[in-house]
Amino acid sequence: MIEVTNLEKSFGSVTVLKNLNFTIEKGEVFGVVGHSGAGKSTLLRCFNALEGYQGGSIKVMGKEVAALGREGIKTLRRDMGMIFQNFNLMARKNVFDNVAFPLEVWHTPAQERKRRVLELLDLVGLTDKAYQRVQNLSGGQKQRVGIARALALSPSILLCDEATSALDPRTTITILELLENIRKSLDLTIIMVTHQMEVVKRMCNRILLLDGGECQGLGQTEAFFLAPTPNVKTLIEDEFTLIPGGTNIRMWFPREISQNSVITRMARALDVDFAIVGGKLERYVDDVRGFLIINVDDEHLEKVLNYLQEKKLFWEVMDDAS
Amino acid sequence: MPANSNTFMAALQAVQASYLAIRDDLFQALWETVYMVSASTVFSLVFGFLLAVVMITTGPHGLRPNARVYRSIDMAVNLLRSLPFIILIIAIMPLTRLVMGTGIGTTATIMPLTIAAAPFAARLIEGSFLEVDKGVVEAARSFGASRWQTIFMVMLPEAMPALVLNIAVLAITLLGYSAMAGTVGGGGLGDLAYRLGYNRFQTDVTIWCILLLIVLVQVIQSTGNFLYKRLR
Ligand SMILES: Nc1ncnc2c1ncn2[C@@H]1O[C@H](COP(=O)(O)OP(=O)(O)OP(=O)(O)O)[C@@H](O)[C@H]1O
Ligand SMILES: [Mg+2]
């Protein structure tokens, strides 16, 4: 769907993206994560030619973006809907007119436009708000308008730039659920730029980790979180206070193991006691995974580590500083 | 009490007499002022809008940045705005004669008024356009809107409330300029106050003119404020 090779992008003398290589497959949810200023938005804007690039190539559906003329860019943008962190709706217009805007740009006849807008509002659950001004809507509702507007031209790719960053956690979930449903029913490819790990874990099949405009990691979401590289770890903050003394071990639960009670079984098998420091069960793309941090007395440490090794569990010894 | 009432009545009669004496002059002048100000407001808006569109498009963060074009217009606008209006009237007299057929009279004055106010209008309109949320403009572009569509379907409607307030500012500024138009026989309230009130020591004429000017400013400003509230 999108093929990026050796991409280079700079603003004047400042290089913002360098040497990026990856492909995004049709139908997947592709996450782009990284700290603020990493170049995530810039990368996204290169996809639909809101920004140009200086080197390498971006091919969207087989066509080189930089080689497109005015009409080509217009068509490219029709095929890529975009939603934004701050919604970017026209504040003085009502919900209907905002959703109708892309259709007006493309000279859709008024009747057809009306039919389409109502259909879209139904899809995002805002039929009853059609003639309200967007100013008076909640954040979640505004983003629904944004999604409806982005879908107006029936794109095959949806670009999301921090689409849930301005929303509270509960609203974030409803928006993500909406996106997931839409992706399934409309067969969309979604590219999500975000710095929210919950969003990545819940939605994305694959992730590109950007730092300073360079790729710091690319792969399946599971692999990212089950065996995190140091770069990834700095992004996954956790807020557990570790118990001083003994050794803290973080155990990750991949798919096959999470349902079984690993901990209790280990306690029985080894006949040792350990304290549970904390843990988290998380919803990944399609099921529940998690990790647990336990504190083991030094005298039992070797036994425990051997057991973990033997059972092929993912684990790490946490240093006290973290 | 009766004494007081008498002086009051006398004062009232004096006011009435003064009013009747200059009524025709006053309304003639009021009409000339309204005519000059509204015509030049409309014309300077038209030219100012064209300039502003070019500035917005070619400006540093515009839809198609072009430093050379932007800087030329920017400088021309600053230059015109730094000329005192009274000098401008005289300086462009030949041009006025060429375009309007005459250099003298109320209609002829519309030309220098427009030229003086168009750069100011351009700045005000540019300012209102720059206020429009960049994100909304980006969203429009991301759906394939052309430059033209972005300006007319997004920026113009979004900037409307700010524009309306700025048009009021423009009209009031032009009201001030129009008072100087007497120099070339433009007529109007400023001219009347100068000819009769100042030169012939008819202070009451000056006062009438000032009162009417105050009312005009109030009307323009409150209309602007009202529309702003409606549009927001
Ligand atoms: N128009 C521009 N001109 C110059 N520099 C820019 C421009 N846009 C972005 N940059 C720079 O490019 C870098 C990457 O910006 P970008 O907005 O892509 O980051 P980001 O990863 O999206 O960050 P955030 O999470 O804060 O949105 C930053 O250093 C930024 O200052
Ligand atoms: Mg960003």
Decide if B210 is inside a domain. Answer: no
Averaged pLDDT for residues B102-112: 86
Determine which of A16-20, A221-225, B88-92 has the lowest per-residue pLDDT on average. A221-225
Q: Name residues contacting ligand 1 (CB within 6 A).
A: A 11, 16, 34, 36-42, 195
- Which residues on chain A are in Cβ contact (under 8 Å) with B158? 90-92
Q: Ligand 1: which residue has its CA nearest to atom 7? A: A11
Q: What is the rounded distance in angstroms from the CA atom of residue B179 to the CA atom of residue B202?
A: 18
Averaged pLDDT for residues A14-36: 91
Determine which of A73-82, A212-221, B176-185 has the lowest per-residue pLDDT on average. B176-185
Q: What is the rounded distance in angstroms from the CA atom of residue B47 to the CA atom of residue B41?
A: 10
For B49, the domain range is 36-185
Q: How far is the CA of A40 from the centre of ligand 1 (A)?
A: 8
Decide if B90 is inside a domain. Answer: yes
Average pLDDT, chain A: 86
Nearest 5°: the CA angle A140, A145, A146 is: 90
Cβ <8 Å between B136 and A93: no
Could you tell me how many helices (H) and strands (E) chain A has, helices first?
Answer: 12, 14
Each residue of A44-95: pLDDT tens digit? 999 999 999 999 999 999 999 999 999 999 999 999 999 999 999 999 899 9
Tell me which residue of B84, B102, B92, B97 sits closest to B177, measured CA to CA.
Answer: B84
Q: Which amino acid is at A279?
A: G
Decide if B156 is inside a domain. Answer: yes
Decide if B14 is inside a domain. Answer: no
A321: confidence class by pLDDT, cuts 50, 70, 90: very low
Averaged pLDDT for residues B28-55: 94
The per-residue pLDDT for B152 is: 93
Q: A 251-310 residues with CB below 8 A of B?
A: none
Q: Which residue of A has its CA nearest to B132?
A: A90
What pTM was estimated for this model as a whole? 0.78
Decide if B214 is inside a domain. Answer: no
CATH numbers and ranges of domains, chain A: 2-233 (3.40.50.300), 238-317 (3.30.70.260)
A322: confidence class by pLDDT, cuts 50, 70, 90: very low
Cβ <8 Å between B144 and A82: no
DSSP labels for A236-260?
A: S---PPPPSSSEEEEEEE-HHHHTS
Decide if B204 is inside a domain. Answer: no
Each residue of A248-282: pLDDT tens digit? 887 777 666 655 677 788 888 888 888 887 776 66
Indicate whether A172 pLDDT > 80. Answer: yes
The per-residue pLDDT for A259 is: 55
* Domains of chain B: total: 1
A1-4: Cβ within 8 A, 24+ apart: A1/A25, A1/A26, A1/A60, A1/A61, A1/A156, A1/A157, A1/A189, A2/A47, A2/A58, A2/A59, A2/A60, A2/A61, A2/A157, A2/A189, A2/A191, A3/A57, A3/A58, A3/A59, A4/A56, A4/A57, A4/A58, A4/A59
pLDDT, greater one: A156 or B194: A156
Give the CATH number of the domain where residue B104 resides.
1.10.3720.10
Decide if B231 is inside a domain. Answer: no
Average pLDDT, chain B: 89
**Percent of chain A having pLDDT more than 90?**
52
What is the CB neighbour count within 10 angstroms for residue B202?
18
Decide if B194 is inside a domain. Answer: no
Indicate whether B126 pLDDT > 90. Answer: yes
Q: Ligand 1: which residue has its CA nearest to atom 8? A: A42
Q: Ligand 1: which residue has its CA nearest to atom 3? A: A11
Averaged pLDDT for residues B73-101: 88
pLDDT, greater one: B217 or B232: B217
Q: How far is the CA of B150 from the centre of ligand 2 (A)?
A: 22
